[in-house]
Amino acid sequence: LQVGSSLGIRTVDLDGDGIVDHVEAHGWKSRAANTSQCWATVTAGEPPAVAKRVLSATICRGGSGMSGHRAAIAAGHDHRVVDVVPPVSLRRLPETANELARPLDAMSRDAIFLNNRGDLTCYDVRDGARRRWQLRTTAGWDNDGVVSPSLTAFSTRVGGYVDLAVAAGARSVFIVDAKGRRAAPTIELTTPPAAPLIVADVNRDGLHDLVLRTQFSTYVWIQKPKHGNLAFTFLLGCLTLVVLAT
């Protein structure tokens, strides 16, 4: 995804039709006109005069559309002070027999959103703007301007298939795969991030590592493959991380 503006717009071809999609998260500091807060929109095509809205839905818990969003507000969930970070996209992992027969590069993408309550939400714009999954994580933050939260898409290996998302909040780093499954143990933070998390191959072993700068320190998590019987897929083993403080 490419950053399109200060409002957190990302541009990417989500459904593989050759038309650029504009993916945007709307919060209290980055809300477009006539758009609710804690809201996601995806618009296909450009210029705006001929663009088509293919997604308009909440990224807060409590419903996948406007009616559910309003019902959540009526139930006492205040969406007026919800902050968001720019979204990311992940390629869909094969699930059906037809998808398994297709090349991975032919799979469409899903849009992933994160708000400051730690809600991590995935939408599929190809199948009628369907919400595929939503998780409550510990990667939230307060709207005090001190924390620099982030949401980043990455691959296990350098140059590999980008199917992981890492959410960095004030108190933890949470990693999931394209199906919404936790891909590694949650990383607890003692100091909030002072800059967005960086994914890089720090020790040049071909595996992506995590770098996070705080007010006083820079932390590096080195990815170490782990072998043996595991409860989840190989992603959990490949994403066992060791923390080093510098």
Q: Is the pLDDT of residue 154 over 70?
A: yes
**Measured distance CA(29)–CA(40) in Å, rounded:** 14
Higher model confidence: residue 171 or residue 55? 171
- Return the half-sphere exposure (C-beta side, CA atoms, 13 A cut-off) of residue 173: 30
**Measured distance CA(203)–CA(209) in Å, rounded:** 8
For residues 40-47, average pLDDT: 78
For residues 133-141, average pLDDT: 94
Is-above-0.75 flag for pTM? yes
**Closest by Cα among 219, 224, 228 to 185:** 224
**Measured distance CA(94)–CA(56) in Å, rounded:** 25
**Measured distance CA(168)–CA(147) in Å, rounded:** 10
Per-residue model confidence (pLDDT) at position 218: 86
The pLDDT tens digits of the residues spanning 53-95 come to 778 888 988 654 444 545 555 555 555 578 899 999 988 776 6
Per-residue model confidence (pLDDT) at position 73: 54
Q: Is the pLDDT of residue 234 over 60?
A: no
Q: Which two tokens stand for residue 178?
A: 């394209």
